[in-house]
Amino acid sequence: VGRIGLVGLDGDDTLWHSERYFAEVQHRLTELLAPWADRTRLDERLVATERANLDVFGYGVKGFVLSMIETAIELSDGAVPASAIHRIIGWGKEMLAHPVELLDDVAEVVPELARRYRLVLVTKGDLFHQEAKIASSGLAEHFEGIEIVSEKAPEDYRRIARRYGVEPDRMVMVGNSLRSDVLPVAELGGRGVYVPYAVTWTLEHAELPEALADAVERIERLGQLPGVLARLD
């Protein structure tokens, strides 16, 4: 019997692309709001608004759209035309309807892992959108369970581990966010595997504390995961 009791995989920017669509839309917003603010001012204002709204809207595209609209109204001092608001809403619908694009290696690695480990998908954000992405990813059948959570704090992972009858120190969590995927499970005595994505959302930035460094592995692409898990096991 190996040491690993449960392998958790993050969805957004670990299994499929996500953040780059947000970055693309934010770029469009910069152009739309150019009459009222330069890029630096817009980026600062938008992230402050998103931060303040997280407790109200949670994570995901819909909250992002509302934060963009709020930012547009504030930066233009109420002058932004309804046609611009309409465009922002249209971008949001486009993001929600965007086909799922899997990251490299995912289509091969996930079924391979499923033959060796108990796999759970742990993803954060809007329930409706996450369910749609999971369904169209074609990956659902490889997971013993799917956990869509509103936050990824240590207590959330403790609850998930308990649900699967596994001690948290036998859990490995794999994802592109140190803050949300890797560190909380390492804090519980489990292991984290960090797979950085090209773009990290400002509100997901985190440093790796020295004390947890031994509990964290870093890989550059998902194809390296089976080897790392075999070693940890």
- Write out the residues near Mg ion by the rule CB under 5 A: 10, 12-13, 176
Is residue 63 within 8 Å of 20, Cβ to Cβ? no
Paired tokens of 71 = 């930012």
One DSSP character per residue, 26-91 reads: HHHHHHHTTTT--HHHHHHHHHHHHHHHHHHH-SSHHHHHHHHHHHHHHHTTT---HHHHHHHHHH
Give min distance, CB of 216 to Mg ion, in A.
Answer: 16
Candidates 79, 204, 208; CA nearest to 152 is 204
Smallest gap from residue 92 Cβ to Mg ion (A): 19
Q: How far apart are CA 1 and CA 15, in angstroms?
A: 27
Q: How far is the CB of 83 from Mg ion (least distance, A)?
A: 33
Q: How far is the CB of 59 from Mg ion (least distance, A)?
A: 10
Position 22: which residue type?
F
Kindly tell me which of 137 and 176 has the beta carbon lying closer to Mg ion: 176
Which residues on adjacent β-strands are paired with residue 191? 172
Least Å distance, CB 129 to Mg ion, is: 14
Between residues 10 and 217, which has the closer beta carbon with respect to Mg ion? 10
Of the pair 85, 199, the CB lying nearest Mg ion is at 199
Residues 170 and 6 sit within 8 Å (Cβ to Cβ): yes
Residue 31 C-beta: closest distance to Mg ion, Å: 27
Taking CB positions, which residue lies at the least distance from Mg ion? 12
Q: Would you say 10 or 156 has its CB closer to Mg ion?
A: 10
Query: Chain centroid to CA 95: how far?
Result: 15
Q: Name, in order, each residue with C-beta under 8 angstroms of 161's C-beta and a sequence gap of 6 or more.
A: 6, 167, 168, 170, 171, 188, 190
Nearer to Mg ion, 16 or 117 (CB): 16
Nearer to Mg ion, 130 or 176 (CB): 176
